[in-house]
Chains A and B, each alone.
Chain A
């Protein structure tokens, strides 16, 4: 039930991300969500895209370092306190969270949260038991 996140190593220089997003655009790959973690020197671009395998292939061909990580995607209601509720579920199950970022779908009144956790299976079980709906790669393509 995990979803695939594409990670790209970029230098922390002005405009460094543009060739990445342009490469994806030129190959008709749509971005669903992204998050950038940066230090003084480098940035780690994390992407949820409509075609992860092909996105990785075209970026590799451009010489980028890439890596695919399995992350958990969960659908939450678009209302105050819904994210806290989901995070409490993870905390109660002692699943430690590395980082998260979120996005909205074009049509539905829902938010989606991408969670990078230490133990995907435990996180998925906890969230499902709490009645939350997990999303899949197939869902990503439809959103």
Chain B
């Protein structure tokens, strides 16, 4: 398959040239931050590091980390590195874990972010002849704005749908010939369900590719979406703290996401010691914004557990690849002493022929953890016999035990009874008061 690139020179740059570029940018960036962000200057001073100590990308490990706690403490302007008069945009996190994070952008920052999204769209096969339906939420959330901007840069005809109103999404997709869909994977799956309900087959819609991100999803879910929508489904990664989606993106190989490392340098660290781990190790993903101006986070700890790889990619890009995050250091549940990732539950459901619509409810009763999983009944499996439904619950519980090592009480519930905000689904309700 012929490869297209949005910025070929950067995307296929030799390792040596890339390191040189990264080093130049880092040296400049550290000085910019040191001089303009007193909060980070203090952290550097405490560590005894000055901008003079940073001579190349090899010196990055000398710099202090930033975490979500720092962002909360410095809220809202404490990490701003440019006067507000030079900023043109604000975005904010969805605030699912604590206080919202606000990020600032200069026009330069918006441009480089949109370039990153454009690289993702081109890698998914997008050209100026495509119609790109952006069904991420628009507004403070970075999803809509990022892909919208990227779509413009590629020259796609952009359909700024935002999320929700599924009926209209499907109608416009068909009437206006959308070929690329950008949204969260759970919303893509939801659109797929709606099509199924309306008996619209994957061959009857114009879509050819989807770019899905902003929440964790599994390979099984990818297959499911690819089948119901009849497309290739590409992963995209990013976070508001670094800019938004497009920090990393998938290519035709679909074996991990290329990090736009000319803008965002990735490290894997040991989450306990902070030590940088060698390539191929599993650990916490850390990003350094090499040339963002307004909100340039250095060594930001993402809490995503991940692996980086520099194996040669068949697409020709030399950009380092990150695996799909294997979970977050903070969404991992410990139930009866066992580590449980919600993505494991999803894998079981898809393997057993259920839709990935579930909710985990954990509580503590008399010092014992209770572990319940609500799963939506499907039309295929519904029967008039109570015994058979109880057997389905039991067999799901058993399959989860095989995967996790502990078995939940599985409850089959009515379709669509698990609340889906049409963006991020609430997967876990932890009622335990763990102090």
Q: Which residues of A contact B (CB under 8 A)?
A: 5, 7, 9-11, 37-39, 41-42, 44, 46, 63-67, 69, 98-99, 116
> Would A41 and B385 count as touching, CB distance under 8 A?
no
Q: Beyond the given A44-B385, A63-B416, A64-B414, please list 19 additional residue pairs across the A-B interface where CB-CB is below 8 A.
A: A5-B384, A9-B377, A9-B382, A11-B413, A11-B417, A39-B390, A41-B413, A42-B377, A42-B411, A42-B414, A44-B384, A44-B386, A46-B384, A63-B415, A65-B377, A65-B415, A67-B382, A98-B385, A116-B385
- The 10 A-B residue pairs with the shortest CB-CB distance, nearest first, are A7-B384, A65-B382, A37-B386, A69-B384, A41-B411, A67-B382, A11-B414, A9-B382, A9-B377, A65-B415
Closest residue on chain B to residue A42 by CB atoms:
B412
Residues of A with C-beta under 8 A to B417: 11
B383 in contact (CB, < 8 A): yes
State the Cβ distance, A143 to closest chain B Cβ, in Å: 22
Residues of B with C-beta under 8 A to A42: 377, 389, 411-414
Interface size class for chain B? 10 to 19
Bound: A41/B411 CA distance, A: 7
Contacts A11-B417, A46-B384; is A65 near B411 (CB within 8 Å)? no
State the Cβ distance, A93 to closest chain B Cβ, in Å: 21
The answer, among A9, A46, A69, for a CB contact under 8 Å with B414, is: A9
The A interface, classified by DSSP as helix, strand, loop or mixed, is strand
State the Cβ distance, B232 to closest chain A Cβ, in Å: 31
Q: Among the interface residues A9, A63, A64, A67, which one has the most CB atoms of the partner chain B within 10 A?
A: A9
The answer, among A39, A65, A69, for a CB contact under 8 Å with B386, is: A39
- Convert B399-427 into 0s and 1s, putting 1 for each residue whose CB lies closer than 8 angstroms to a CB of A: 00000000000011111110000000000
Q: Which residues of B contact A (CB under 8 A)?
A: 377-379, 382-386, 389-390, 411-417
The B interface, classified by DSSP as helix, strand, loop or mixed, is loop
Residues of B with C-beta under 8 A to A66: 382
Bound: A116/B382 CA distance, A: 16
Bound: A41/B410 CA distance, A: 10
State the Cβ distance, A77 to closest chain B Cβ, in Å: 28
Bound: A7/B389 CA distance, A: 13
Bound: A98/B385 CA distance, A: 8
State the Cβ distance, A86 to closest chain B Cβ, in Å: 21
Bound: A46/B415 CA distance, A: 18
State the Cβ distance, A89 to closest chain B Cβ, in Å: 23
Bound: A42/B412 CA distance, A: 8
Bound: A90/B300 CA distance, A: 73
State the Cβ distance, B418 to closest chain A Cβ, in Å: 12
Bound: A38/B389 CA distance, A: 11
> Would B383 and A67 count as touching, CB distance under 8 A?
yes
Bound: A48/B385 CA distance, A: 16
